[in-house]
């Protein structure tokens, strides 16, 4: 098992543009309900994978929602494991290596790709994508399987973005989750990672 290390949550750099704030708020409430000791135990059991980048900065490649929730809950430190050390690379080469390993997702809340320079430098700057929350809630409700495929939830978010009207998501999120659960079983979703037969 990789060795756990500790770092200030506010020092962690994102590798994506968006986050689902409804999902973040659910995780924040969970963390806030725990004692300080329980919070640390929970974070130790959910370490954030990082890549060490230029300037020895820590770039998280997963668990952005948990990291943002911990930040919002006022938790100072989190735990991480190191997937790779690209600290000797310049910024352009660093991002190229991150892309080669599927450790970066520079798509916005509309599914539009951006330059790596547009990725926020701080967790607090991530933009809300309600469809990313929808994808997370559908997964948690059993609509599709959790998978090791990088950024699979974003693929599901884009699928739901094309098939569930934003007005329906904003008007009644719980109803939108139920609708998206049915859509997740539709043959149109068959090629998406985590699809359940």
pLDDT tens-place string over residues 1-31: 568 999 999 999 999 999 999 999 999 999 9
Please report the pLDDT score of residue 69 as a whole number.
98
Please report the pLDDT score of residue 36 as a whole number.
95
pLDDT of 107 > 80? The answer is yes
The total of other beta-carbon atoms located within 10 Å of residue 146's CB is 11
Domain ranges of the chain: 5-128, 130-188
Fold topology of 5-128: 3.90.1530
Confidence at 197, pLDDT banded by 50, 70, 90: confident
Backbone CA torsion sign across 88, 90, 85, 97:
negative
Please report the pLDDT score of residue 2 as a whole number.
67
List Cα–Cα distances, 71 to 21, 85, 119, 134, 190, in angstroms.
13, 24, 18, 22, 36
pLDDT tens-place string over residues 48-88: 999 999 999 999 999 999 999 999 999 999 999 999 999 99
For the chain, how big is the Rg over CA atoms in Å? 17
Ramachandran region, residue 187 (left: φ > 0; alpha: ψ -120 to 50; beta: rest) = alpha
Contact 132, 153 (CB under 8 A): yes
Please report the pLDDT score of residue 85 as a whole number.
97
Please report the pLDDT score of residue 1 as a whole number.
53
Q: What CATH code is assigned to 130-188?
A: 1.10.8.10
- Name the nearest CA neighbour of 15 among 135, 146, 116: 116
> Token pair 């430098």 is at which residue?
121
pLDDT tens-place string over residues 120-162: 999 999 999 999 999 999 999 999 999 989 899 999 999 999 9
pLDDT of 114 > 70? The answer is yes
- Name the nearest CA neighbour of 93 among 51, 149, 50: 51
């Amino acid at each position: 098992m990789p060795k756990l290390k500790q770092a200030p949550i506010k020092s962690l750099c994102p590798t994506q543009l968006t986050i689902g704030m409804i999902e973040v708020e659910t995780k924040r409430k969970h963390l806030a309900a725990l004692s300080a000791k329980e919070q640390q135990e929970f974070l130790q059991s959910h370490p954030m994978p990082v890549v060490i980048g230029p300037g020895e900065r820590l770039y998280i490649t997963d668990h952005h929602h948990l990291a943002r929730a911990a930040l919002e809950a006022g938790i100072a430190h989190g735990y991480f494991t190191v997937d790779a050390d690209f600290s000797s690379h310049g910024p352009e080469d660093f991002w190229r290596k991150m892309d080669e390993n599927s450790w970066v997702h520079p798509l916005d809340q509309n599914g539009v790709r951006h330059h790596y320079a547009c990725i926020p430098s701080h967790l607090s700057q991530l933009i809300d994508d309600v469809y990313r929350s929808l994808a997370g809630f559908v997964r948690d409700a059993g609509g599709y399987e959790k998978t090791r495929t990088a950024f699979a939830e974003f693929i599901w978010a884009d699928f739901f973005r094309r098939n569930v009207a934003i007005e329906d998501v904003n008007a009644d999120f719980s109803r939108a989750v139920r609708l998206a659960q049915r859509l997740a079983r539709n043959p149109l979703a068959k090629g998406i990672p985590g699809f359940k037969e």
